[in-house]
A and B are shown apart, each in its own frame.
Chain A
């Protein structure tokens, strides 16, 4: 750590000023977000820890359970053994949504409330760099982090289960084959990127926008206008279109990204990824366009708003 920091001035001298003015402030701005909001990674890590603890208890009766499953057909067998893995994946998806929402609501409000915005603005970091660094948390850091934690947790579960199976003289081959581990992990990452990052992009950017604007209670201002709009639509047109649309964006429901039969879990190997359909769907691009407009507005607001 100390050798790294003492090397910084040398790096400065050798770096082209143009590069210095964009990438380094961005990198350090992201780092400061992770310093300030350590719960971005501590929350999913502790959830993973609790799940692993619970899972280790189930290992006691794991061999007996596996023997009882031997008579099931392939689909039922898969369903029975995948439950724990689906719980981990589902919890990490929920953590991604929760972390993103709570982070975005406070990202540009907190620095105004504690007046530290005056310190950040006294440094040669543009408002665009700052807002984009904050947006990189829901769009880059959280998807990578939650996918990695989910995969690591499932990997530990896989190793522990295998050890227990081998220890009680059973074969691990059907277990591994049925889980279809690499495909499961691909689907998990794909689902987090499509359904919980790109699809809800306008939701997260809306939260950042409100966070940059709100005079107080950003959560209130983030939630009330959409609810009011949905309510007005319900009263005037007797439809629920806007409310459903919001719900689908928020939960990350996207039928364009994958084809699956029934209500299979998104990481079930029977799911077919359809990235071309997803990338070609107007809903994605309309959402991203709106997200971009919200983000641009957030940058302008960050420029104009002082401490509260």
Chain B
């Protein structure tokens, strides 16, 4: 069974189309990165998956309709939002008590184990913690839930580099076990690069690109072309071209690697470079034609 399955998922706010009929299928055990510019519809898609907003179209999460069965769905789903949403008046011990009280899959000892590795004290109020510590606490609470789907919306926004690295490290080492599914949106693509199994670009409410990381590596190549071969390389229809330190870097979709190797140094592009290339082609450069 697919963990998340959507057909024609659509959401309109007034005159703004936030999601324009997307089809989506996330299998269990995958780590899907949803990447898109601001206002692309990422958060709207996550809100629909979490049962926070009504929508048009078909959507099933773990076989349930999130809008009508949110409370039951939340036994198997956990969620960290882009901003610290833990109530600021709460004490850490109260958060643990409350989670243990309402969540049948919450393992208090496990959460306390995670917290013991941090400097967060049980008696502290959440308002007294730094932003990084609040995220650590939220992650500890969430990782102690034996959930099947974890949804992260910009979880490391505003954190310093140490906390960011730690966040994804503990997520991978202590949580992800190939049974669970993770859907994550982020702007900091580079720190997710080696974590993801699947990739999705979204823009203006539509899915622009979706592939597994294996497909991504097999399909896209980036060539640093020698100056005298630029014309020959351009003849192979690169999807994107950029200049860096006086050299020309071309990005190819589905090019023949051996043919490309003759033109220069070939490697797999970073997700960020592909993102820039795809978004540039999709919606035009800033000020470009809107399709």
Contacts and interface: CB of A to CB of B under 8 A. Distances in A.
Which of A28, A118, A127, A303: most chain B CB closer than 10 A? Answer: A118
Given A6-B108, A116-B88, 9 more contacts: A27-B101, A28-B97, A28-B98, A36-B89, A115-B83, A123-B103, A304-B53, A306-B52, A306-B53
A234 interface: no
Contacts of A306: 47, 52-53
B91 to A, nearest CB: 8
A8 B100 contact: yes
A251 interface: no
Contacts of A117: 85
B71 A28 contact: no
Contacts of A31: 97-98, 101
Interface of B: 47, 50-54, 70-75, 77-79, 81, 83, 85-91, 94, 96-104, 107-108, 138
A6 B86 CA distance: 23
A123 B99 contact: yes
Given A20-B104, A25-B102, A29-B102, A125 B86 contact: no
Interface in A90-109: none
Interface in A5-55: 5-6, 8-9, 12, 17, 20-21, 24-25, 27-29, 31-32, 35-36
B88 A9 contact: no
Interface in A112-137: 114-119, 121-127, 129
A12 B98 CA distance: 13
Size range of the interface on A? Answer: 35 or more
Given A8-B108, A36-B87, A119-B85, A126 B70 contact: yes
Nearest to B72: A124
Contacts of A115: 81, 83, 85
Top-3 shortest CB links A-B: A28-B101, A126-B71, A116-B87
A125 B88 contact: no
A24 B91 CA distance: 20
A124 B89 CA distance: 21
A258 B101 CA distance: 42
Nearest to A35: B94
Given A31-B98, A119-B86, A124 B103 contact: yes
Contacts of B72: 21, 124
Given A123-B74, A306-B52, A118 B101 contact: no
Contacts of B73: 124
Contacts of B91: 35
A35 B87 CA distance: 11
B102 A125 contact: yes
A17 B105 CA distance: 12
A122 B50 contact: yes
A118 B81 contact: yes
Contacts of A111: 87
A71 to B, nearest CB: 57
Contact of B98 (A17, A32, A304): A32
Contacts of B104: 12, 17, 20, 124
Contact of B85 (A9, A25, A116): A116
